[in-house]
């Protein structure tokens, strides 16, 4: 069958919630993806920040295959060896005390919100609580996650969602301060906003929010679903600031490709919020996905992933700065490590399509921002290859 035939076949049955690019992928290796016609693409999206170790890593694949032959699923009424291993490694890696495994990022946010609300309920036994979230934030598409997502267009048709949520301006501490009252139970934010346009938290802001939370016994929830797992140059991006969340979320890269996420809490939250019966998941943390977490964390260490992010991320920064300087239509270059963005004065859709034609996978963040989320194993040579295709794409679209 041809590409168009597969697309037609899929579109006959799929609910139309995505405008997909007209590519049918077949397989992948390293930092390259291949479509069914054999065309090769350099990947600077990694499945939206998921395939951090690159594709087709033998040690990872072998571990998953071996686990499939042992046991894939048990439910959470029992323990498994991969669950025990992954829980210990992930809490240590994240500098948190306890973990609950979910199947996605949005579910990790749901759990984080429930933990925060239960903590507040235990404290005052009322149901009258508020959450402060940030404008331009993105936390996922389920109802709870959507309630704290700072994009009205995503929320509008589905309101009312959960408890009262107020939106502050990211990187504006005064705007957060102005929303705090005695009902405020949690402040939720991304350490570096991804979907909303690649905005890193300033040191003053995130550390200031951390202090406000401590002073007012408000729980700080940091969403590290996109910016965590080494992407910004530390295990989790918040490790680079003088702040410690009470609750944090992780997903995307944490399983290196299988659907898994988690929310992690400090002992203080663990002792005063969710108890047996309050929360659960049939699949959450099953042996297959925990094997993946375990292997990803092993490979982070043995492959010195964070060192590579710091080295190649700095090189990418330099090269994108040059691009930014060379084109008038690029307004700003932002980001950290292997999570960077170029903001244009116009939509970037044409640039992405042109790059795809030329075998480079890029993605947007909002309409005007070109987002770079490569696998964390990229080399400076891969950056050079990307830049060369990007320049051609820019010259043929916006120059």
Distance CA 399, CA 375 (A): 28
Q: Which is nearer to ligand PLP, 142 or 392 (CB)?
A: 142
What mask of x and - would describe binding to ligand PLP in positions 119 to 148, judged by CB under 6 A? -------------------xxx--------
State in angstroms the smallest separation of the CB of 45 from ligand PLP.
12
Burial grade of 305 (CB within 10 A; 0-12, 13-18, 19 or more)? buried
Distance CA 376, CA 300 (A): 10
Binders of ligand PLP among 314-343, rule CB under 6 A? none
State in angstroms the smallest separation of the CB of 89 from ligand PLP.
21
Which one among 130, 190, 246, 382 touches ligand PLP, defined by CB under 6 A?
Answer: 190
State in angstroms the smallest separation of the CB of 142 from ligand PLP.
7
Q: Six-digit token pair at 394?
A: 């820019």
Q: Which of these ranges, 61-69, 83-91, 105-113, 307-315, lies near ligand PLP under the rule CB under 6 A? A: 105-113
Q: How many CB atoms lie within 10 A of CB 244?
A: 16
Q: Which of these ranges, 30-38, 187-195, 303-311, 347-355, lies near ligand PLP under the rule CB under 6 A? A: 187-195
State in angstroms the smallest separation of the CB of 149 from ligand PLP.
8
Distance CA 319, CA 333 (A): 11
How many residues in the shown chain lie near ligand PLP by CB under 6 A? 16
Instruction: Work out whether 118 is an interface residue with ligand PLP (CB under 6 A).
Output: no
Q: Which is nearer to ligand PLP, 260 or 390 (CB)?
A: 260
Distance CA 258, CA 286 (A): 11
Which one among 42, 90, 106, 290 touches ligand PLP, defined by CB under 6 A?
Answer: 106
Distance CA 180, CA 183 (A): 8
Instruction: Work out whether 225 is an interface residue with ligand PLP (CB under 6 A).
Output: yes
Binders of ligand PLP among 73-92, rule CB under 6 A? none
Distance CA 130, CA 241 (A): 26
Angle, helices 349-357 vs 380-397, to 10°: value is: 120
Q: Helix or strand or coil: residue 1?
A: coil
State in angstroms the smallest separation of the CB of 265 from ligand PLP.
17
Burial grade of 381 (CB within 10 A; 0-12, 13-18, 19 or more)? exposed
Q: Which of these ranges, 2-10, 24-32, 103-111, 162-170, lies near ligand PLP under the rule CB under 6 A? A: 103-111
Closest C-alpha among 276, 251, 248 to residue 264: 248
Q: Which is nearer to ligand PLP, 173 or 192 (CB)?
A: 192
Which one among 104, 235, 266, 308 touches ligand PLP, defined by CB under 6 A?
Answer: 104
Q: Which of these ranges, 120-128, 190-198, 211-219, 278-286, lies near ligand PLP under the rule CB under 6 A? A: 190-198
Which one among 110, 130, 195, 246 touches ligand PLP, defined by CB under 6 A?
Answer: 195
Instruction: Work out whether 191 is an interface residue with ligand PLP (CB under 6 A).
Output: no
In Å, how far are 155, 285, 305 from 102, measured between CA atoms?
Answer: 23, 6, 24
Distance CA 138, CA 364 (A): 14
Direct distance between the N- and C-terminal alpha carbons of the chain, in angstroms, rounded to an integer: 38
Q: Helix or strand or coil: residue 53?
A: coil
Q: Which of these ranges, 64-72, 99-107, 264-272, 383-391, lies near ligand PLP under the rule CB under 6 A? A: 99-107
* Residue pair 223/139 in contact by the 8 Å Cβ criterion: yes
Q: Which residues on adjacent β-strands are paired with residue 28?
A: 33
Binders of ligand PLP among 236-265, rule CB under 6 A? 251-252, 261
Residues that bind ligand PLP in the complex, under the rule CB under 6 A:
104-106, 109, 138-140, 190, 194-195, 223, 225-226, 251-252, 261
């Amino acid at each position: 069958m041809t590409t168009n035939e597969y697309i037609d076949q899929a579109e006959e049955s799929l609910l139309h919630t995505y405008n997909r690019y007209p590519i049918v992928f077949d397989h992948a290796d390293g930092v390259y993806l291949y479509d069914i016609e054999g065309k090769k693409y350099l990947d600077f999206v990694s499945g939206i920040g998921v395939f951090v170790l690159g594709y087709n890593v033998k040690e990872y694949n072998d571990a998953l295959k071996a686990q499939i032959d042992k046991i894939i699923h048990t439910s959470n009424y029992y323990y498994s060896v991969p669950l025990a291993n992954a829980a210990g490694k992930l809490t240590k890696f994240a500098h948190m005390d306890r973990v609950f495994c979910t199947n996605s990022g949005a579910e990790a946010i749901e759990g984080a919100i429930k933990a925060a609300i239960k903590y507040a309920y235990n404290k005052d036994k009322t149901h009258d609580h508020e959450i402060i979230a940030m404008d331009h934030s993105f936390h996922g598409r389920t109802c709870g996650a959507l309630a704290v997502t700072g994009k009205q267009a995503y929320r509008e048709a589905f309101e009312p969602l959960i408890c009262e949520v107020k939106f502050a301006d990211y990187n504006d501490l005064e705007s957060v301060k102005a929303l705090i009252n005695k009902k405020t139970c949690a402040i939720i934010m991304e350490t570096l906003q991804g979907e909303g346009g690649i905005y890193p938290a300033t040191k003053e802001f995130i550390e200031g929010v951390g202090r406000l939370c401590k002073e007012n016994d408000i729980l700080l929830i940091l969403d590290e679903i996109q910016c965590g797992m080494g992407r910004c140059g530390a295990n989790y991006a918040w490790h680079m600031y003088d702040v410690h969340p009470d609750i944090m979320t992780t997903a995307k890269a944490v399983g290196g490709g299988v659907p898994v996420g988690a929310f992690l809490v400090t002992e203080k939250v663990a002792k005063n919020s969710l108890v047996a019966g309050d929360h659960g998941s049939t699949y959450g943390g099953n042996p297959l996905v925990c094997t993946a977490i375990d292997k990803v964390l092993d490979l982070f260490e043995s492959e010195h992933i964070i060192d590579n992010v710091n080295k190649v991320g700095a090189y990418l920064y330099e090269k994108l700065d040059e691009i930014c300087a060379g084109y008038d239509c690029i307004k700003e270059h932002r980001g950290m490590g292997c999570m960077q963005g170029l903001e244009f004065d116009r939509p970037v859709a044409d640039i992405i399509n042109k790059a795809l034609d030329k075998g480079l996978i890029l993605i947007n963040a909002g309409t005007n921002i070109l987002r770079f989320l490569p696998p964390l194993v990229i080399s400076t040579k891969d950056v050079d290859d990307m830049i060369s295709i990007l320049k051609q794409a820019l010259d043929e679209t916006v120059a």
